[in-house]
Amino acid sequence: MKTTTAELTHKNLVKKFHTLLSKYSIRNEDKLTILGTFGVDTSLNLSIDQLAQACDAIERTFGKKEDDELAKLDTMRKRLIASIFAWRASLGAPADMNLVKAIACRAAEVPEGYALSIRFNSIPEVKLQSLYNAFTHMKKDMGKVKQMTQEMIDKLTTLN
């Protein structure tokens, strides 16, 4: 017996539907609610169009939340990188991306054993915020100390 294109499409959409349910940790009750909106109790009874609609609805509803969280973490990582670059510049020390990521990992106490990018990306949100604040304040403090030092030097040179 030969499988038709429509049967393959239906099979693939059923698989996608269940993959999305698993990916977004959708409970069985919620799955039954989704299926109930189409008047069925199993995904096998959905048409190709209904399966496509269900998959799109799941991705729109749950995928946006995941994308927002990833974007937020990405922004926080970039802010931390910028603050470490600025801190290094205030010290007059050169820096490159690998050094900055290594500094962040060391400050976050991320254990070694994985590639640097994996370690950097594993820093939790709370720690990213904390480190960003610490490096930003350090840079500001460093600038203030340099200014005070220069004022002291200027004062001493006018006295001599």
- Phi-psi region at 29: left, alpha or beta (left = phi > 0; alpha = psi -120 to 50): alpha
pLDDT at 98: 93
Residues of the chain with pLDDT under 50: 1
Distance between CA 80 and CA 100 in Å, rounded? 9
- The pLDDT assigned to 143 comes to 80
To the nearest 10 degrees (0 to 180), the angle between helices 125-159 and 97-107 is 110
For the stretch 84-109, pLDDT in tens is: 999 888 888 888 999 999 999 999 99
Q: Give the Cβ contact number of residue 139 at 10 Å.
A: 19
pLDDT score for 3:
63
Q: Is there a contact between 5 and 39 (Cβ–Cβ < 8 Å)?
A: no
pLDDT, position 160: 65
Q: What DSSP character marks residue 4?
A: P
**CA–CA separation, 2 and 7 (whole Å):** 10
Domain coordinates of the chain in residue numbers? 5-159
What is the rounded distance in angstroms from the CA atom of residue 55 to the CA atom of residue 59? 6
pLDDT of residue 42: 87
pLDDT score of 2:
58
Q: Residue 99 has what pLDDT? A: 93
